[in-house]
């Protein structure tokens, strides 16, 4: 793999390729000069690379440059390819790859904000992460900016929305809205009730976790903070971070610890999918599903309480292993609970699979073709419901997944209904994996003491299949017993970029469930403001009106 790529790159880019190296079994790093970045990325994409994320890092103290890494996954032969380049900090300009790869748009915008990089020919060089009143010229991820800087606020700045297509009106949704769990702002352009476009302004709860972990805490405190990136896929982030550091430092953890990590990840998947099933039912106004799915989920929360000491944020994963062991009694307890969950989930599944009212709200809604799904780099159940057969557990096996037998459900209906079915089927698979883990659980220690110092400035990348899709972590190890750079790319980061495409030509009443189908986060305030652009008047819409609209939609469908 490395040789073929190197030959291709050398033939096309000649001396603009600095080096091609393979750091471990699956990771290939390609260093190119910044002039050649776009062409190098094109070669990798043609070789079958699927874009994962971009990672910018500050290297000013060492050689006066800002680094940029574009990471790719080769799903068919288990490789990660990282195309690295750097630009001097006084002139941090490089060519944008977004015209070729639309899913790179956010990664590049993020580092325009956070590191002050500039990307030429970027189709939408607007602010993404920083707030509108953040002063220009302060780039928070640069090392010289303190982690606790609080610049003065300003009142007279606002985000400029994209221009609305002619003949449309703008419906702002959020920052607080019943179908959004976290503060995010969507400006939906509607013609009548048909959505004609959408602009997104989010990152309103950006907590600066990456900066915090790069400057304040030490390696083994990060897993606990990583766990709090997401309330639902906590173990995923802790595992991904730990694996990245273990991979960078060449730490081999005991096999039993890997099995226990697998177990926790699968328990989390069951939890997340049941939660999503309930929320999806709630979003289409079918609260019976919501109540029953969450009733089934509750016994899993109690199980986790007995197993890890907490209902969520399990705190099981550390660099070097896991914290709590699985005793035979608790193993029996796990088996009993998951068997019961499987039984009860089948009851729910049978009760809703042929329900025509659910079909009306979800079938043919939020469609996006397989080609578009690949072009936008969709991941997780959202992609698998569009016929894209990817799953990091199978394609890049980590923890104990290479010992597990499981199917990856893939459907080709391309709509919200198939994401629902994919998630339910995946829950059954997760239960199958849990039984296998408990059957095969090897004896031995669960934690390995770290004898050597973790070497500085090693790069490592890992992905972990979260319930919502793969979550990618990129770590550059540092000198002060903490990472020099830690980049987290959660699955929603990728999937949310394709939401405008999913919404296109859909009914406005379907917005909540389309949004919900990618499993972002939901919240509960009960009004949206409708602004009539023609008259300039704003009026509020109550929850009752929204419900009414959604019911009308149902009757029409």
Partner 1 sequence: MWLTSKIKQILMVMKPGIVTLDYPGQPAPAPAAFRGQPVWDHHKCLGCGGCANHCPARCILTRDVCQELRVMLYDGSRCTYCGRCADVCPEDAITMSNNFQTACDDKNDITTRMELFMLTCQRCGRCYEMEKTNVIDRMELRGFRYDNLESRALIRQTTDTFSPEALAATEHHQRPSR
Which residues contact partner 1 by CB under 8 A? 148-150, 152-153, 217-222, 224-225, 228, 288, 291-292, 295, 298, 305-310, 313, 315, 319-320, 323-324, 347-348, 350-352, 354-357, 449-454, 481
Nearest distance, CB of residue 316 and partner 1, angstroms: 10
Nearest distance, CB of residue 265 and partner 1, angstroms: 19
Nearest distance, CB of residue 452 and partner 1, angstroms: 6
Nearest distance, CB of residue 192 and partner 1, angstroms: 30
Tell me whether residue 298 or residue 545 sits nearer to partner 1 (CB atom): 298
CA 52 to chain centre: 10
Tell me whether residue 358 or residue 438 sits nearer to partner 1 (CB atom): 358
DSSP 12-65: HHGGGEEEEEE-SSSEEEEEE-GGGHHHHHHHHHHTT-EEEEEEEEEEHHHHSE
State the CB neighbour count (10 A cutoff) for residue 505: 11
Tell me whether residue 334 or residue 454 sits nearer to partner 1 (CB atom): 454
Calpha distance 256→331 (Å, rounded): 14
Residue whose entry in the numeric block shows the structure tokens 């929850």: 543
Tell me whether residue 59 or residue 215 sits nearer to partner 1 (CB atom): 215
Nearest distance, CB of residue 139 and partner 1, angstroms: 18
Cis peptide before 175 (omega within 30 of 0): yes
Nearest distance, CB of residue 155 and partner 1, angstroms: 13
Tell me whether residue 454 or residue 466 sits nearer to partner 1 (CB atom): 454
Nearest distance, CB of residue 360 and partner 1, angstroms: 10
Nearest distance, CB of residue 11 and partner 1, angstroms: 43
Q: Report the residue count for the chain.
A: 557
Contact 415/385 with Cβ under 8 angstroms?
yes
Tell me whether residue 154 or residue 204 sits nearer to partner 1 (CB atom): 154
User: Which runs of consecutive H residues, i.e. helices, occur in 198-327?
Assistant: 209-215, 222-227, 234-249, 255-283, 287-308
Helices 328-353 and 287-308 pack at an angle, to 10 degrees, of 170
Of the candidates 399, 352, 456, the one whose C-alpha atom is nearest the C-alpha of residue 252 is 399
Calpha distance 422→430 (Å, rounded): 12
Tokens of 449: 């003491």
DSSP 8-state class, residue 447: B
CA 133, 53, 391: angle at the middle one, nearest 5?
A: 135
Tell me whether residue 19 or residue 301 sits nearer to partner 1 (CB atom): 301
Tell me whether residue 336 or residue 453 sits nearer to partner 1 (CB atom): 453
Nearest distance, CB of residue 315 and partner 1, angstroms: 5
Bridge pairing between strands 50-59 and 65-74:
antiparallel
Of the candidates 238, 393, 409, 405, the one whose C-alpha atom is nearest the C-alpha of residue 318 is 238
Tokens of 88: 């001097």
Tell me whether residue 350 or residue 537 sits nearer to partner 1 (CB atom): 350
Tell me whether residue 89 or residue 319 sits nearer to partner 1 (CB atom): 319
Coil, helix or strand for 485? Answer: strand
Nearest distance, CB of residue 382 and partner 1, angstroms: 26
Tokens of 52: 């994962």
């Amino acid at each position: 793999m490395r040789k073929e790529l190197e030959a291709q790159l050398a033939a096309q880019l000649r001396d603009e390729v600095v080096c091609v190296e393979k750091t471990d079994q699956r990771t290939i790093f390609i260093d190119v000069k910044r002039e050649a970045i776009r062409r190098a990325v094109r070669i990798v994409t043609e070789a079958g690379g699927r874009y994962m994320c971009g990672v910018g890092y500050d290297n000013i103290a060492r050689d006066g440059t800002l680094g940029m890494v574009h990471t790719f996954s080769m799903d068919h032969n288990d490789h990660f390819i990282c195309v690295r380049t750097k630009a001097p900090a006084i002139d941090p300009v490089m060519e944008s790859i977004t015209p070729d790869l639309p899913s790179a748009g956010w990664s590049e915008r993020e580092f325009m904000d956070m590191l002050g990089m500039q990307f030429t020919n970027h189709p939408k060089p607007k602010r993404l992460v920083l707030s509108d009143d953040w002063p220009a010229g302060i780039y928070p991820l640069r090392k010289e900016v303190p982690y606790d800087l609080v610049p003065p606020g300003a009142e007279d700045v606002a985000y400029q929305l994209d221009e609305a297509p002619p003949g449309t009106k703008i419906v702002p949704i959020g920052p607080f809205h019943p179908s959004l769990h976290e503060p995010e702002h969507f400006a939906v352009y509607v013609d009548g009730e048909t959505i004609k476009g959408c602009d997104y302004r989010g990152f309103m709860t950006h907590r600066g976790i990456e900066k915090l972990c790069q400057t304040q805490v030490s390696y083994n405190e990060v897993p606990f903070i990583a766990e709090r990136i997401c309330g639902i896929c906590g173990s995923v982030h802790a595992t991904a971070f730990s694996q990245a550091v273990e991979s960078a430092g060449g730490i081999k953890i005991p096999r039993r610890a890997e099995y226990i990590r697998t177990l926790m990840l699968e328990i989390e998947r069951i939890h997340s999918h049941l939660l999503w099933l309930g929320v999806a039912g709630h979003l289409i106004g079918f609260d019976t599903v919501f109540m029953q799915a969450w009733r089934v989920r509750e016994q899993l929360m109690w199980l986790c309480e007995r197993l890890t000491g907490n209902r969520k944020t399990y705190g099981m994963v550390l660099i070097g292993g896991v914290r709590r062991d699985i005793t035979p009694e608790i193993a029996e307890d796990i088996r009993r609970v998951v068997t019961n969950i499987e039984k009860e989930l089948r009851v729910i599944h049978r009760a809703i699979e042929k329900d025509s009212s659910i079909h009306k709200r979800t079938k043919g809604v939020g469609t996006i073709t397989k080609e578009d799904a690949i072009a936008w780099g969709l991941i997780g159940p959202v992609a698998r419901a569009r016929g894209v057969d990817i799953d990091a557990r199978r394609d890049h096996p980590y923890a104990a997944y290479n010992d597990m037998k499981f199917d990856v459900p893939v459907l080709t209906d391309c709509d919200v209904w198939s994401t629902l079915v994919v998630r339910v089927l995946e829950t059954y698979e997760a239960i199958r994996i849990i039984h296998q883990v408990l059957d095969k659980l090897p004896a031995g220690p669960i934690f390995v003491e770290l004898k050597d110092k973790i070497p500085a400035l090693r790069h490592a990348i890992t992905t972990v299949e979260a319930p919502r899709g793969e979550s990618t972590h990129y770590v550059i190890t540092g000198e002060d017993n903490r990472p020099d750079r830690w980049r987290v790319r959660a699955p929603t980061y990728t999937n949310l970029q394709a939401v405008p495409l999913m919404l296109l030509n859909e009914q406005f009443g379907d917005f909540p469930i389309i949004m919900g189908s990618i499993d972002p986060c939901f919240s509960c305030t009960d009004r949206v403001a409708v602004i009539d652009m023609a008259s300039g008047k704003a009026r509020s819409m109550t929850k009752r009106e929204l419900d009414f609209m959604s019911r009308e939609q149902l009757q029409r469908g």
